[in-house]
A and B are shown apart, each in its own frame.
Chain A
Amino acid sequence: MKPGHGEVLIAEGDVERAEDEQRLIEEFRRQLDAGLWAAVPVADHGGRRESIMVRSFEEIPSDADRVIFFPRAAGGR
């Protein structure tokens, strides 16, 4: 998510392929190092949607099709 732009595709690949996975891991770390939060939207069996906040690449569910990065929350006025 970017101000003035909205959704931006950062990286894509297949985690089954080693070189793709390595690239995705590096990009994931780069985004978190930049101070962003990462979330994975998921659906349960009842159709309810929620998200999982992930702090490491290993926490991403294996069936996740995307990770959304967004600016970290701060207390507002």
Chain B
Amino acid sequence: MVLALAATALVALALLSDLIVPRIDDIWSRWRARRQRTPTWSYDPGRERRAEQRARALLRSCVNEEEWAMYRDLGFLRVWGTLADGPDDAGGTGGAPYAYVIYPHRPILAYLAQTHRLLNEYCVTFPDETRPYGSSRLPDSDDVLAKWMALTGDERRLISTANMHLPGRQLDPAQVRRDLWRLSQWERARMRDAAGGDGTPRPGDRQGAA
């Protein structure tokens, strides 16, 4: 009798093993994962601030004085485009000068320098997948510097890597136009200061304010 019951139980177990074994394996894996000590990095505002200070110092040492002052005062950088017919996918600029606005951790925005017509947004990131402190995100000023280096070093490569979108997808066009207006006012003020603060326009004032 016992032997028959045992044999029946064995057969039942064998039949059910396909269902039971994966479930047991799953429960075991979950239990081990819960027990495993995983490195966790809590957000440390002091560390992030020190990182940003180092990043700002590095950015300042790479760009020229005007660009640094622009970033310090306005919070973004302008980089002139160098491609003869504008960035790819922008429909051609007809040789008109164009530039990019670089914001930290926001898309790069291309625009025509004279008319301020917005061309495209280029979404690009520089993720560090080693996540040294639990995040793949560079400090703000490092992100700006990475974009600046990639744009001035190989504009075509960066633009072809980025995901292109029409203006307005992430950046508010009205805000960008305000920023471009702020930039022109800022450049006029710098020129006035350079001229001695007497308001006397110097050659190139109009062009510099574009």
Could you tell me which A residues sit within 8 Å of B by CB distance?
1-7, 37, 39, 41, 43, 47-53, 68, 70-77
Contacts and interface: CB of A to CB of B under 8 A. Distances in A.
A38 to B, nearest CB: 9
A71 B127 contact: yes
Nearest to B62: A41
Given A4-B51, A75-B162, 16 more contacts: A1-B58, A1-B128, A1-B139, A2-B138, A3-B131, A6-B51, A39-B150, A41-B149, A49-B67, A51-B148, A51-B149, A73-B146, A73-B161, A74-B126, A75-B163, A76-B163
Given A49-B63, A70-B146, A5 B132 contact: yes
A43 B152 CA distance: 12
Interface of B: 41, 47-48, 50-55, 57-58, 61-64, 67, 107, 123-129, 131-139, 141-142, 145-146, 148-150, 152-154, 157-158, 161-163
A75 B131 contact: no
A71 B138 contact: yes
Summarize A's interface: helix, strand, loop or mixed: strand
Contacts of B154: 53
Nearest to B141: A6
A52 B128 CA distance: 21
A41 B154 CA distance: 13
B128 A3 contact: yes
A27 B150 CA distance: 21
B44 to A, nearest CB: 8
Q: Would you list the 8 A-B pairs with minimal beta carbon distance, nearest first?
A: A4-B133, A6-B54, A53-B153, A76-B123, A50-B152, A75-B163, A76-B125, A39-B149
A72 B163 CA distance: 14
A8 B75 CA distance: 24
A52 B55 contact: no
Nearest to A72: B126
A6 B127 contact: no
Contacts of B128: 1-3, 71
Contacts of B149: 39, 41, 51, 53, 68, 70
A74 B134 CA distance: 19
B144 to A, nearest CB: 11
Nearest to B44: A4
A73 B152 contact: no
5 contacts: A1-B58, A5-B47, A51-B153, A74-B161, A75-B163
Nearest to A49: B64
Nearest to A41: B62
